[in-house]
Amino acid sequence: MNHPRKIRWVLAHEPIELFVRAARKFSDEVNARAAGQLDIEVLTLSEYAAKCNGGKKVTKHDLLDLMESGAIEMSQMYTTWLGERYSKDMNVLDLPFLFRDHDHAARVLDGEIGRCLLDELSVNNSNVKGLAFTYSGGFRMIPARTEINAMSDFAGLKVRSNRSPVAVDTFKAIGAEPVVMELEDITEAVEQGLIVGGESTYPRFYALNQNEVCEVINDTAHSLFLTSIIVSSKFWDSLGGDLQTVIAEAALNAARFERKESVDDIALVQQRCVDDGIRVVTLSEDELGKFKEAVRPVYAKYEPIFGGLVEKIRSA
């Protein structure tokens, strides 16, 4: 009798609860379509450390190494980090105002362009295979202690940026002073006066206690915060074609579910902000136009690097 193959899916990123929902969606579909063939265990970092790592602490920075070593079979990872380690083309997704709306994003991420980006992760003997794109919160906003009502308000403003060179250059282009740090450090950094705010997403605002130090959300929606569902290539290659199909389709369905849940969660957080007196500020059409004009040099710098990828995404 064949024993079920083990899948350890380790979750590391906030909002954990949102990712748990997606992982369960994946598990339910796989179990329904391939009953008894796979044993899927969804673990947080602390659970993985306790059960599989002798109690030794594991951080999100260890996930790709765990994947490379074959210690885990599945996870989710920032596209920014995947671009940094495996494929520079993944950084195209951080370009400001690249996606017109969620429908445009879905056509790109779930279509041929997204598949090509995911396939690039497996080159150069990587043990990481990309399966699907998740939102990880959707369009970015900037929780802060100050309102940004005009582009001039960005001048000299110290704001947290993710470590993508595209994101850093975007803030520089609009006159802000980007400070690269982890999402989890925003609250403490604002409290200490190191920054006045920083890139985040609505689902992370309360999850990471950003509401405790930021009384304003500047809803710039300047780029999408994306992650990818990834699987160990060695594990993937050890499976039969039928199981690969089940996993691939279940991952895509789970990703679509997560993206919808992300958008739904945004509305819940926005209502909570109203209840709590958190001010939500959006730029006027005129100021938004100035924002888009200011980041033209970012496109001028990176479009040659990404080849024709930017134009393909725009016309998708």
| pLDDT computed for residue 173 by the predictor | 98
Q: Domain check: are 191 and 260 in the same one?
A: no
Binned at pLDDT 50, 70 and 90, residue 3 comes out as: confident
Q: Domain check: are 34 and 111 in the same one?
A: yes
Q: Domain check: are 124 and 148 in the same one?
A: no
Q: Domain check: are 54 and 112 in the same one?
A: yes
What's the structural domain count of the chain? 2
- pLDDT tops 90 at residue 107: yes
Task: Calculate mean pLDDT across residues 105-116.
Answer: 98
Task: Calculate mean pLDDT across residues 128-149.
Answer: 96
The residues, ordered by sequence, that sit 6+ positions from 288 with a Cβ below 8 Å of its Cβ are none
Q: Which residue has the tokens 């999408």?
A: 224
Q: Domain check: are 202 and 172 in the same one?
A: yes
Q: Domain check: are 251 and 129 in the same one?
A: yes
| pLDDT computed for residue 89 by the predictor | 96
| pLDDT computed for residue 14 by the predictor | 75
| pLDDT computed for residue 13 by the predictor | 77
- pLDDT tops 90 at residue 15: no
- The CA distance from 168 to 172, in Å, is 6
Q: Domain check: are 92 and 148 in the same one?
A: no
Q: Domain check: are 167 and 242 in the same one?
A: no
- pLDDT tops 80 at residue 260: yes
- The CA distance from 289 to 103, in Å, is 22
| pLDDT computed for residue 124 by the predictor | 77
Cα 118 to chain centroid distance, Å, stands at 14
Report the predicted TM-score, pTM, of the whole model to 2 decimal places.
0.94
Q: Domain check: are 63 and 123 in the same one?
A: yes
Residue 77: domain span: 5-139+226-269
Kindly state the percentage of the chain with pLDDT values over 70. 100
Q: Domain check: are 104 and 21 in the same one?
A: yes
Q: Domain check: are 305 and 248 in the same one?
A: no
Binned at pLDDT 50, 70 and 90, residue 137 comes out as: confident
| pLDDT computed for residue 123 by the predictor | 85
Q: Domain check: are 160 and 285 in the same one?
A: yes
Q: The domain spanning residue 205 has which CATH number?
A: 3.40.190.170
- pLDDT tops 60 at residue 1: no
Q: Report the chain's mean pLDDT, rounded to a whole number.
A: 95
Task: Calculate mean pLDDT across residues 283-290.
Answer: 98
